[in-house]
């Protein structure tokens, strides 16, 4: 089956992920490919299979995809284990690929046994952060490594659609986002948003409502709309509850938290905590939320470039940083805010995002906040200003968003 799937589904390579995973091929550790539904996890598995087949044409590939009918009978760990054992070949190196593994009850028990027997090299994908990290951490602590896949970055978007790096291309990316299947759909916005509405419904019903047993769907949808309206705004669960109450939706703060968690578990939105730059501590309350895909955010609330551009710019910068492997926080410096503090390998960068530096007050705020940080890590002001892009102000780099999103930091 896998040969037919590889032939029938041509893909655009995504080396930002495959190059990270390749060093672990053949190692006695489970490779977990996680991420929101429809961001291309299956195609990452296909690329890894092709990589294996290139280096070892005799490799025995055992492939299970829980979204395909031939595998719907694999419903628990016992059946998974038995199926894999029947597919093993003693004269070949065996590789197991399981797509959407969270659909298999107690899957972690089956994987634990297969890993202990060292009978195959194991790769799996899933769309639920809590289920993957919880079950695997309990049963396979120290024996798995996770790679999170994201929707297309701007560089990948240009590559997928053979576009030049231009303001027009950037605006299209900020509008339709980077779901990989747009390669098939095309970039016509009516078609794109029809497709994205269906993806949104699928994520909501399959990965949030059904999986988490959510009953108040109206409240959940209102909460998502609030998040879409408030991308990049600091708030707490208490503030959200107050807002929803003003909309005649009365809920407790705890209920808000209970509904936010499934959204983050499904990789639909990300919670970004505040970080005290001076005290080097993380605040427990007050955070921002960003969406995994810009197009999905826009299909929920629409995209009005006059009022939404700052929100979408911030979201795009956040996605770029996490794609590159940074841990990202909202910076707090006394009473001042730094949009992003990003850390990777003991090195930090600081980023301020502003649509246009149109007056002295804006310039002083965006550059002035960064200048007050007392270390020598790199600092950026990211704008849509075509004329001042590339400037350097006291060591702070000002970049157009389309150029920042192509930086390999």
Is there a single domain that holds both residue 144 and residue 158?
no
Would you state the pLDDT for residue 8? 61
Would you state the pLDDT for residue 240? 79
d(CA 397, CA 86) in angstroms, rounded, equals 58
**Cβ atoms of residues 291 and 266 within 8 Å:** no
Is there a single domain that holds both residue 191 and residue 291?
yes
pLDDT tens-place values along the chain, 409 residues long: 666 666 666 788 999 999 999 999 999 999 999 999 999 999 999 999 999 999 999 999 999 999 999 999 999 999 999 999 999 999 999 999 999 999 999 999 999 999 999 999 999 999 988 777 677 777 787 899 999 999 999 999 999 999 999 999 999 999 999 999 999 999 999 999 999 999 999 999 999 998 888 888 988 998 999 999 999 998 777 777 777 778 777 778 788 888 999 999 999 999 999 888 876 667 666 799 999 999 999 999 888 888 899 999 999 999 999 999 999 999 988 888 999 999 999 899 999 999 998 888 888 888 999 999 988 899 999 999 887 666 788 889 999 999 999 999 9
Is there a single domain that holds both residue 127 and residue 193?
no
Which residues, including other chains, have CB under 8 Å from residue 369's CB and lie 6 or more apart?
A: 333, 336, 337, 338, 352
Please choose, from the candidates 263, 274, 273, 258, the residue with its C-alpha nearest in 3D space to the C-alpha of residue 300. 263
397: β partners = 380, 392
Note whether residue 66 is domain-resident.
yes
- What's the domain range around 44? 2-148
Would you state the pLDDT for residue 281? 65
Which residues, including other chains, have CB under 8 Å from residue 131's CB and lie 6 or more apart?
A: 102, 211, 265
How many domains does the chain fold into? 2
Note whether residue 409 is domain-resident.
no
Burial of 254 (0-12, 13-18, 19+ CB in 10 A): exposed
User: How does DSSP assign 296-308, residue by residue?
Assistant: HHHHHH---HHHH
| CATH number for the domain harbouring residue 103 | 3.40.50.300
Q: Pairing between strand 30-34 and 60-65?
A: unpaired
**Cβ atoms of residues 261 and 133 within 8 Å:** no
Note whether residue 391 is domain-resident.
yes
């Amino acid at each position: 089956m896998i040969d037919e799937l590889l032939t029938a589904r041509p893909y655009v390579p995504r080396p930002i992920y495959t190059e990270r995973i390749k060093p672990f091929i053949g190692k006695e550790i489970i490779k977990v490919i996680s991420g929101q539904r429809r961001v291309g996890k299956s195609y990452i598995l296909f690329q890894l299979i092709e990589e294996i087949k290139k280096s070892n044409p005799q490799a025995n590939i055992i492939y299970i995809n829980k979204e395909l009918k031939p595998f719907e009978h694999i419903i628990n760990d016992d059946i998974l284990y038995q199926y894999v054992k029947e597919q093993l070949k003693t004269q070949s190196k065996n590789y197991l690929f399981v797509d959407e593994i969270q659909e298999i009850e107690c899957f972690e028990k089956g994987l634990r046994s297969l890993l202990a027997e060292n009978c195959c090299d194991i790769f799996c994908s899933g769309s639920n952060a809590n289920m993957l990290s919880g079950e695997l951490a309990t049963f396979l602590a120290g024996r798995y490594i996770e790679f999170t896949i994201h929707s297309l970055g701007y560089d990948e978007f240009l590559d997928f659609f053979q576009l030049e790096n231009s303001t027009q291309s950037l605006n299209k990316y900020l509008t339709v986002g980077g779901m990989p299947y747009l390669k098939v759909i095309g970039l016509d916005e009516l078609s794109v948003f029809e497709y994205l509405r269906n993806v949104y419904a699928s994520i909501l019903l399959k990965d949030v409502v059904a999986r988490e047993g959510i009953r108040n769907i109206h409240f959940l949808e209102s909460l998502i709309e609030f998040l879409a309206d408030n991308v990049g705004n600091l708030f707490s669960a208490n503030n959200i509850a107050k807002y929803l109450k003003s909309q005649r939706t009365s809920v407790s703060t705890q209920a808000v938290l209970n509904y936010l968690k499934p959204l983050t578990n499904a990789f639909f939105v990300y919670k970004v905590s505040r970080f005290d730059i001076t005290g080097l501590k993380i605040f427990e309350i007050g955070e921002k939320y960003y969406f995994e895909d810009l197009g999905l955010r826009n299909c929920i609330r629409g995209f009005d470039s006059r009022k939404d551009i700052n929100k979408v710019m911030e979201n795009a910068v956040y996605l770029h940083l996490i794609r590159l492997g940074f841990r990202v926080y909202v910076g707090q410096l006394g009473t001042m805010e730094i949009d992003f503090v990003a850390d990777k390998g003991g090195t930090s960068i600081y980023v301020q995002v502003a649509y246009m530096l149109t007056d002295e007050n804006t310039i002083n705020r965006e550059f002035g906040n960064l200048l007050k940080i007392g270390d020598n890590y790199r600092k950026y002001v990211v704008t849509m200003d075509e004329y001042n892009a590339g400037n350097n102000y006291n060591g702070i780099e000002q970049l157009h968003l389309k150029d920042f999103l192509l930086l390999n930091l």
